[in-house]
Structure 1
Amino acid sequence: MILLLALAAGVAVGNVYFPQVVVPGVADGLGVSAGAAARVVSATQAGYAAGIVLLVPLGDRIPYRRLIVGLLLLTGVGLLVAAGAPTLGVLLAAAVLTGATTVIGPIVGTMAAGLVSEGRRGRVSGMLLSGGLGGMLLSRTLGGALVEGLGWRAPYLVAAALTLAVALVLLRVLPAGGEPAERHRPGGAPSPARRDAASLGGAPAPVRRYLALLAEPLRLLVGEPLLRRSCLYQALVFAGFSAVWASITLLLTGPAYGLPASATGVLALVNAATMVITPIAGRQVDRRGPGPVTLVCLVAVIVSAPVLAAGALGGAPGMAGLAVGSLLLDLAMQSGMVANQVRVYGVRAGARGRLTTAYMACAYLGGAAGSWLGTAAYGRAGWPGVCAIVALTAAVALARHLAGRATDLPPAPRHT
């Protein structure tokens, strides 16, 4: 079951990333500029962000099989519409739909956390994250090959076939029950979301409940200290990570290296090793708790900054620094994500969908801020300025972690 969920997460994540390689083909095929075609990527990412906010919380209300299979079917329809799009406008609309409904990764994460014992959540989170990383890497590689051989519509058709096939498999194997625990509160006590819904006057009852559900992630963020800590750690580390990858193309194509833009993709392939490491990190979270793993990861991010800074030297030594530093940064960021997710899942069992929404929204806000800061720092201080952002954001997270280690979650009890 967990392997199938990891496969579903990989296919879903791939739907967000393969549009990055179809932009030139879209420009030629639809007769638009490259800048206009690039809006397909932005539309997909904007849809994904909207799906996190609007759809992931439904995991606390709708049975998982119905929600996951339904979203996969809608994603498949969106991909088919995109494959046959006659104009850029239709393609952009399909991209928004595809991005919004392909938020399967966060949902299967909350489902898997409820399927296994507390002492195995780290390992399972690592496996699911590896599936997502595999989908990200393979979708870019396979998508690029399909565009070159068959045109820009081919990746959408292949992605639609994979998505619909996964939907049919999960329809058969996922348990029909398994309704979220929040729907069965002991003693008949209404949840905070239902109490808020009762105060939303004139709207129909389902609308009131849904609006109240959307407000719950913010309420949880305010009221749950462990959630706030995980959000802070991931937002800061992801900001540094995004700063690096938003500006590294500027370094590689600049005078220090003079390489084509495709060199960034080749460098990113080094990080495929993360797929092997994240399950190992998950086992360490299960054994030692999220706190010690978070500590190691934050220190590793800080260490990666001077290694990455060697990239300013250019030539073979600089490229070695970029390869080793980016790998260390990616391993630390992804392993820290496993620790943060386990911490978040342990806050409240019946609200994992809303907890995940708050966590991922904060992470993406941090990433967006980091991308902007990275390009701004590169323009003013060059590559060393970008590496300084990596060190500074991780140092702030480390200081907060050291100040609050006594309140972190202990290791989960191990069952023989």
Structure 2
Amino acid sequence: MQSSLQNPKVYTSTNQSMTSALAWVFAICSGLSVANIYYAQPLLDSIALEFDLSNATIGLVITVTQICYALGLLLLVPLGDLVNRRKLIIIQMLFSALALIVVGNSTTQPILFFAIAMVGLLAVITQTFVAYAAHLSVESERGSIVGRVTSGIVIGILLARTVAGVMNDWLGWRSVYLLSAGLTLISVFVLIRMLPQRSFTKTNLNYLQLIGSTLRLYGELRVLRIRGILAMLIFMAFSILWTAVVLPLSASPISLSHSLIGAFGFAGIAGALAATKAGKQADRGFGQKTTGISLSILVLSWIPIALLHTSLWFLVVGVILLDLAVQAVHVTNQSLIYHVRPEAQSRLTASYMVFYSIGSAVGSITSTQVYAWSGWKGVCCLGAGVSTTALLVWVVDRLSVRLAASKREA
């Protein structure tokens, strides 16, 4: 059966325009954008107090944000293959700034929830940056550039809670969203000056056909299915750690403040930055080797993490190893899937990142439940089990590929 994306009518500029400076701008803007969906986590108590929301109701702030983010992945990110990405990025960031301003000035519950929903929906501009960076990069550097941009995303996720917690203590929860709105507007002015004018990709599909082709990618591309499953599992492990770790650190006998707990995010940043070379390895044809090594490190990282109550230095080591492994696999995943369909990078990004959303959501929900049932050891067993499953998925896939190749040769 002929692929739905075979021989598409594509219009594209002939020159690539990705520079090192632009790659760093993409990384910073991606980090700022993705942080918008994580700011609320340390602010829930303050928001609930001001709007007189119950503990059960205030949780909807996180739920609404994540649901709208998942919708944006399927409904907005594929637009990058249909319209000029330069205009798409600028327009979405302007609307994102507006939504953040509304959140920061909201006076009623309906306005708050509507604006926070729009923040989640528009935060998917992060993934448009990734697809655009892949499009602007020459093939020999694509993995390296994507690695740099996705490092910005991971750093944004890790720092969002710390920044929000500190600003909440100093200036109140509204200042977090107003600051983000200001930084977003500054980013728009920078992007207007730096984004290439002529570089664009356009398919002859209409919007409904575009969404349909995005869903059909799952059936057409084995690499997307396998790499999507790996993404779901590694980000489930990532979410298991970062959702649950606040519970033992804030409880007796450790009893750290939220600011100190947030400081562990800096250890995660070290791991994320160390993984940027994974993209270069994928560019050189070592993507599978990098994946196997990284998933093994992910499994082993849970050993020092489990020793948290022995010494916090063990947790620091475990966090560095876990974030290094997750980021390395994530960058490699994207490099490999972008290679198979260069004309459908936005749709591939949307299809792939849906697995990320599922893994993050499931990891958050299960980790707190397991901690309530069996404490920190139970959480570590859960994380190690998920990480081992990811390694086994990769091993089985490699064995099946080799078996199929040997049958063809026979």
TM-score tier, shorter chain, comes to: 0.7 to 0.9
Please tell me whether residue 71 in structure 1 is matched to residue 71 in structure 2.
no
Matched residue, 2:275:
278
CA contact (8 A) 1:243 1:371 kept: yes
CA distance in 2, matches of 1:371, 1:222: 28
Matched residue, 1:110:
131
SS of residue matched to 1:23: helix
CA contact (8 A) 1:29 1:152 kept: no
* Deviation sequence 1:50-99 (CA, Å, 0-9, x none): 21121011111111111111100110111111122111220111011111
Distance of aligned partners of 1:164 and 1:380 in 2 relative to their CA distance in 1, 3 Å threshold = same
* Deviation sequence 1:263-303 (CA, Å, 0-9, x none): 54233332121342132222222234311111111110111
Please tell me whether residue 177 in structure 1 is matched to residue 198 in structure 2.
yes
CA contact (8 A) 1:130 1:274 kept: no
1:92 to 113, 123, 145: 113
Matched residue, 1:325:
318
Matched residue, 2:244:
247
Distance of aligned partners of 1:253 and 1:52 in 2 relative to their CA distance in 1, 3 Å threshold = same
Q: How big is the shift at 1:241?
A: 2.2
CA distance in 2, matches of 1:22, 1:97: 18
2:298 aligned partner, one-letter code: V
CA contact (8 A) 1:181 1:349 kept: no
Matched residue, 2:24:
3
Matched residue, 2:344:
351
CA contact (8 A) 1:63 1:177 kept: no
CA distance in 1, matches of 2:314, 2:179: 37
Please tell me whether residue 226 in structure 1 is matched to residue 223 in structure 2.
yes
CA distance in 1, matches of 2:261, 2:65: 21
- Which piece of structure 1 moves more, 392-401 or 158-167? 392-401
* Deviation sequence 1:205-229 (CA, Å, 0-9, x none): xxxx323322323211111011111
2:367 aligned partner, one-letter code: G
- Which piece of structure 1 moves more, 343-352 or 25-34? 25-34
CA RMSD between the two structures? 2.4
CA distance in 2, matches of 1:8, 1:252: 31
Matched residue, 1:365:
358
CA contact (8 A) 1:252 1:263 kept: no
1:229 aligned partner, one-letter code: I
CA distance in 2, matches of 1:265, 1:289: 34
Please tell me whether residue 52 in structure 1 is matched to residue 45 in structure 2.
no
CA contact (8 A) 2:236 2:359 kept: yes
Q: How big is the shift at 1:336?
A: 0.9
Matched residue, 1:188:
none
Q: How big is the shift at 1:120?
A: 0.9
* Deviation sequence 1:129-168 (CA, Å, 0-9, x none): 2222333344434333333333322222221111122122
Matched residue, 1:334:
327
Matched residue, 1:26:
47
Matched residue, 1:146:
167
Distance of aligned partners of 1:230 and 1:239 in 2 relative to their CA distance in 1, 3 Å threshold = same
Please tell me whether residue 266 in structure 1 is matched to residue 263 in structure 2.
yes
Q: How big is the shift at 1:349?
A: 1.1
- Which piece of structure 1 moves more, 371-380 or 345-354? 371-380
Taking only the aligned residue pairs, the percentage that are identical comes to 33
2:391 to 385, 389, 398: 398
1:252 aligned partner, one-letter code: L
CA distance in 1, matches of 2:372, 2:170: 38
1:323 aligned partner, one-letter code: V
* Deviation sequence 1:304-361 (CA, Å, 0-9, x none): 12222223xx2xx342322211221111011110011101111211111111111111
Matched residue, 1:125:
146
CA contact (8 A) 2:83 2:202 kept: no
Matched residue, 1:136:
157
Q: How big is the shift at 1:259?
A: 4.5
TM (norm. structure 1) is 0.84
TM (norm. structure 2) is 0.85
2:227 aligned partner, one-letter code: S
Distance of aligned partners of 1:83 and 1:260 in 2 relative to their CA distance in 1, 3 Å threshold = closer
CA contact (8 A) 1:123 1:280 kept: yes
CA contact (8 A) 1:8 1:104 kept: no
CA distance in 2, matches of 1:386, 1:32: 29
Distance of aligned partners of 1:156 and 1:119 in 2 relative to their CA distance in 1, 3 Å threshold = same
Unmatched runs of 5 consecutive residues or more in structure 2: 1-21, 403-410
CA distance in 2, matches of 1:329, 1:125: 20
2:122 to 98, 101, 126: 101
Matched residue, 1:307:
304
CA distance in 1, matches of 2:259, 2:214: 39
CA distance in 2, matches of 1:132, 1:111: 14
Matched residue, 2:211:
214
Q: How big is the shift at 1:262?
A: 5.4
CA distance in 2, matches of 1:369, 1:36: 20
Distance of aligned partners of 1:371 and 1:150 in 2 relative to their CA distance in 1, 3 Å threshold = closer
2:392 aligned partner, one-letter code: A
Distance of aligned partners of 1:6 and 1:262 in 2 relative to their CA distance in 1, 3 Å threshold = closer
Give the length in aligned residue pairs. 380
CA distance in 1, matches of 2:188, 2:56: 34
CA distance in 2, matches of 1:300, 1:366: 19
* Deviation sequence 1:189-242 (CA, Å, 0-9, x none): xxxxx4xxxxxxxxxxxxxx3233223232111110111111111111222222
